[in-house]
Chains A and B, each alone.
Chain A
Amino acid sequence: MRGIVFFTVIGFFLLFACKKSGLDTEMCENLEKYLKEVQNISLFDSNYDYVIVLQDGFCNNCNGSSKLVLQQLSDLSNILVISSKRVNLNKSIKLCTDKKYLIEQYGLRSASDLFYQIDKNRIVYFSYINNLQYDKLIRKFANQ
């Protein structure tokens, strides 16, 4: 009986902790799978701290603000950007193009751009980028 209570409490705790962290496991797995199978990149062996998936050409509501944010930054060799077409970014940013729109088949197509933060070779933060989050994003980059 005590065991059941213990595991229930632990279960609720984990559920709450995951929800709090904002980590969408499915979207994290999707990115890892996509990078490995399509772009031949393993996050475990890379030095990237951030991955941004741009939804160019997919949605009519995306206003290109992610690109503007990225264009404000300089010397960011720790950022990986996925885009369906070539975009004008700082040369230090690694850009992977996805002309065949394979991000769709890996569940990464969305109504907004995607943002991932990586620490010690694992994804520690994921969010859909909306206008409210750009300021947060700029601060995040500025503080590093």
Chain B
Amino acid sequence: MKANIILLFTLIVSFFNSCMSGYKKYSEEKANYTKCHIHLSYDTLTVNLKNDSIIFSKYAYQKVSGGDYLLCINEYSNCFELFNLSTKQKIYEKGVKELSGINKDVIFSFSLVNFDSIFILSNNLIILVDTAGDIIQKIPINDQPGYKYKIAPTGNFPISFDPVKQEILLPRYCTSCGSWKNTFYNTEIELGIIPKTKFITVYPVLFSRKYINNYYGFLFKANRVMVGNYSIYTFPVDPNIYRFNRVSGKLEQLGGVSGFQKNKIISLPAHVKSKSDIKFRHLLTSPFYGEIIYDKYNKLFYRVYYAGQKLKGNDGKYHTWADKKKHLMVFNIDFKLLTEIKLPNNDFDPGICIPTKNGLLFPLTTYKNKVIYSLSFYRYHIELQK
């Protein structure tokens, strides 16, 4: 009798839990293909650096007063550097500490809204600064003792500014949960802060349900891009794309599986959580999906699909990161899949992808050779033909 009551209670709790969260069990949606003629061409773009060198992984791009601008932290010179990609010139540089008052190592991401507003997300501060280095506002974060939820990204989830709501959008995760436990994935991943009032909204969006009862080692990141009222989320092991309307609160699940995905993404047992060698091999051999990139000029979305591969090739040598086959998936504004473009394998790392008015840029660097002496890009011109 007692056992029955406990069982009934458990069922009621889990029923309410599933209703409250609005989340269903995980299901993989098929991608919607749309026939479309695409004209593809490519060339290279080189920005004149004179005699300088550059290495960057943290960057932001924006169209400001008619030009395409790339702002990045040059880890080589320890400076914020601003490039006009239209005129191919570096137009500005300032020491990271001089501009923001903090060290580059504690900066997670930044966003260039215009020359008077650069939003910086660091380990314990949100900083609003202009290019002159005048700090407009500082908001302390992650400062409560023993905090459980941290404002910090797990993946490519940059600080963004919603000009309509005047709200700063930030990533969030559970620091004490452990990425091998369900509690980690049952945490809301985005919040908004209105700088004037410090009013906080935690948006009801969780990690993909594919992570529930499944552990994927290093492939646990949440990626987000902001497009108007929408936050668009992707997760490396989940082909689905999640579109969340921050005004209406509606979450849509859209299909995004690549036509080149032949193998399932296999999960790992949770006991390998601290075995980074096993997790690394899993990352190297698993298929997975990169983050969504929005091209506002062509009203297109892009995502890179990384194919799975065997650990070793026929010659007995281990496959490398560069051997992973990569395809650029191109979606229209309604997330209909238009085409998938094969990207070159070697000496090409599509980890950084910058859509500009004059084409889609991929830096001509790789994980093997990050320092470059000229800021050069592969540039894809993608034109839809009706």
**Residues on A close to B: CB < 8 A?**
57-58, 60, 101, 104-107, 109-112, 128, 130
Q: How far is the CA of A130 from the CA of B276 in the complex (A)?
A: 10
Q: Are B318 and A58 in contact (CB under 8 A)?
A: no
Assess the A57–B318 pair: CB atoms within 8 A. Answer: no
Known A104-B320, A105-B317: A110·B276 in contact at CB below 8 Å: yes
- Least CB distance from A133 to B in Å reads 13
Inter-chain contact A111/B318, CB cutoff 8 Å: no
Q: Please, which residues of chain B bring their CB within 8 A of the CB of A106?
A: 317-318
* Residue pair A104, B276 in contact (C-beta under 8 Å): no
Contacts of B279 in A (CB 8 A): 111
A-B contact pairs, 13 of them (CB 8 A): A57-B367, A57-B368, A58-B367, A104-B320, A105-B320, A110-B276, A110-B277, A111-B277, A111-B279, A111-B280, A112-B277, A128-B276, A128-B277
Q: Bound state CA distance, A107 and B313, in angstroms?
A: 12
Q: Mark B328-370, 1 if CB is under 8 A from A, else 0.
A: 0000000000000000000000000000000000000001101
Whether B377 is near chain A, meaning CB under 8 Å from some CB there, is: no
Q: B320's closest neighbor in chain A, by CB?
A: A104
For the complex, what is the distance from the CA of A104 to the CA of B323, rounded to whole Å? 11
Cβ contact within 8 Å between B367 and A110: no
Q: What is the interface size of chain B, counting residues whose CB is below 8 A from a CB of the partner?
A: 13
Smallest CB gap from A112: residue in B: B276
Residues on B with beta carbons closer than 8 Å to the beta carbon of A105:
317-318, 320
Give the chain A neighbours of B318 by CB distance below 8 A: 104-107, 109
- In the bound complex, what is the Cα–Cα distance between A107 and B317 (angstroms)? 8
State in angstroms the CA–CA spacing of A116 and B148 once bound together: 39
In the assembly, what is the distance between CA of A128 and CA of B279, in Å? 13
For residue B366, which residue of chain A has the nearest CB? A101
Ranked 10 nearest A-B pairs via Cβ:
A111-B276, A104-B320, A107-B318, A105-B317, A111-B280, A101-B368, A105-B318, A110-B277, A128-B277, A112-B276
CA distance A128 to B368 in the complex (A): 21
B378 lies within 8 A of chain A by Cβ:
no
B33 within 8 A of A: no
- Nearest-Cβ distance from residue B279 to partner chain A, whole angstroms: 7
How long is the Cα–Cα vector from A101 to B311 in the complex, in angstroms?
17
Bound CA span A110–B321, Å: 11
New A-B contacts (11) at CB < 8 Å, excluding given A106-B317, A112-B277? A57-B368, A58-B367, A101-B368, A104-B318, A104-B320, A106-B318, A107-B311, A107-B318, A109-B280, A112-B276, A128-B276
What 1/0 flags go to B269-284 for Cβ under 8 Å of A? Answer: 0000000110110000
Q: Are the CB atoms of B370 and A57 closer together than 8 Å? A: yes
Q: Which residues of A contact B368 (CB under 8 A)?
A: 57, 101
Interface centre among B276, B279, B321 (most CB of A within 10 A): B276
Query: Quick one: which of B147-178 are within 8 Å of A by CB?
Result: none
Per-residue interface assignment for chain B, residues 306 to 331, with 1 indicating a CB less than 8 Å from any chain A CB and 0 otherwise: 00000100000110110000000000
> Chain A contacts of B276 at CB under 8 A?
110-112, 128, 130
B36 to chain A, nearest CB (A): 37
- When distances are taken between beta carbons in the complex, the residues of chain B under 8 Å from A111 are 276-277, 279-280
Residues of A within 8 A of B367 (CB): 57-58
B54 to chain A, nearest CB (A): 16
Q: Digitize B202-239: 1 where CB-to-A-CB distance is under 8 Å, 0 elsewhere.
A: 00000000000000000000000000000000000000
Q: Nearest Cβ distance between residue A63 and chain B, in whole angstroms?
A: 10
For residue A58, which residues in chain B have a CB less than 8 angstroms away from its CB? Answer: 367
Complex formed: what's the CA distance from A111 to B282 in Å? 12
Given contacts A128-B276, A128-B277, contact A109 B320 (CB under 8 A): yes
Contacts of A130 in B (CB 8 A): 276
Which residues of chain A come closer than 8 Å to B311, judged between CB atoms? 107
Cβ-defined contact, A110 with B320, below 8 A: no
CB pair B321–A104 under 8 Å, yes or no, is: yes
Shortest beta-carbon distance, B101 to chain A, in Å?
A: 24
